[in-house]
Amino acid sequence: MNRKLTLTILILIFFVNACSSLPQNSDPLTLIESSVGFLPSGTAIPVQLPGTISDPQLLAAWIYLSTLDDPIRAWGGSEFTGRSLAQFVLDNHIPVGWSTPDICRFSCTVRPICEDASCPRKNEMDYPIYLDPSLKTASIQKIAGSLAHEIYHHTEPFGKVRSSLFEEYWAFKIGDSLSGSSWVPLVNGDEYKLTCLRQWFVNNIAETYDLVEYPQEITLEAISNETSCHFESSIRQDAVVTNP
Q: Where do contacts with Zn ion occur on this chain (CB under 5 A)?
A: 168, 171
Q: Is residue 149 classed as helix, strand or coil in its secondary structure?
A: helix
Tell me the backbone φ, ψ of residue 73, rounded to 5 degrees.
-75, 135
- Of 22 and 165, nearer to Zn ion (C-beta) is 165
Q: Closest approach of Cβ 145 to Zn ion, in Å?
A: 12
Query: d(Cα 198, Cα 98) in Å, to the nearest integer?
Result: 29
- Of 13 and 108, nearer to Zn ion (C-beta) is 108
Identify the burial level of 78 via C-beta atoms within 10 angstroms of its C-beta, where 0-12 means exposed, 13-18 middle and 19 or more buried.
middle
Q: Closest approach of Cβ 208 to Zn ion, in Å?
A: 13
- Of 73 and 236, nearer to Zn ion (C-beta) is 73
Q: Closest approach of Cβ 153 to Zn ion, in Å?
A: 6
* Residue with the CB atom nearest Zn ion in the bound state: 171
Q: What angle do CA 47, 51, 57 make, to 5 degrees?
A: 85
- Of 60 and 147, nearer to Zn ion (C-beta) is 147
Q: Is residue 73 classed as helix, strand or coil in its secondary structure?
A: strand
Q: Closest approach of Cβ 64 to Zn ion, in Å?
A: 19
- Of 28 and 175, nearer to Zn ion (C-beta) is 175
Q: Where are the alpha helices (DSSP H) in the chain?
A: 3-18, 28-36, 56-66, 82-92, 140-154, 165-178, 194-204
Q: Closest approach of Cβ 179 to Zn ion, in Å?
A: 14
